[in-house]
Amino acid sequence: MACLGSRLLAGAIDVDKALNLRDVDGDTFADVARSNGLDPRHVGPDPEAMARIGDFVELHVEQGKGLGQSGRPSPSAAPSWATAAGS
């Protein structure tokens, strides 16, 4: 699901629904979080964090196989502004 982290933070997706999403191997988001050292009990809306955010932009760059196999020129990018700014 696109922008899952942002949706969870903002409360735009039900936490139980998100935790039960499955990847192509059948693993749930909760299982994958646990296997990466994250506690799924701490996933979800964070009103305090949202109150500290003035503006938010979430940008994504296509990274899928289809881009390279399209037969069309593909641009490359330098680090994003947020990465360059240390955010």
> DSSP string spanning 22-49?
B-TTS-BHHHHHHHTT--GGG-S--HHH
Query: Band of the pLDDT at 87, cuts 50, 70, 90?
Result: very low
pLDDT at position 39 is 95
pLDDT at position 78 is 59
Are the C-beta atoms of 13 and 1 separated by less than 8 Å?
A: yes
Rounded mean pLDDT, 7-28: 93
Q: Which residues contact 78 (CB under 8 A, 6 or more apart)?
A: 84
pLDDT at position 33 is 93
Question: Considering only CA atoms, which of 32, 85, 83 is closest in space to residue 59?
Answer: 83
pTM for this model (two decimals): 0.61
Give tens-digit pLDDT for 36-83.
999 999 999 989 988 998 887 777 666 666 666 777 766 665 555 554
Q: Which residues contact 34 (CB under 8 A, 6 or more apart)?
A: 40
Structural domain spans, the chain: 4-72
pLDDT at position 84 is 46
The two three-digit tokens of residue 26, written as one number: 């059948």
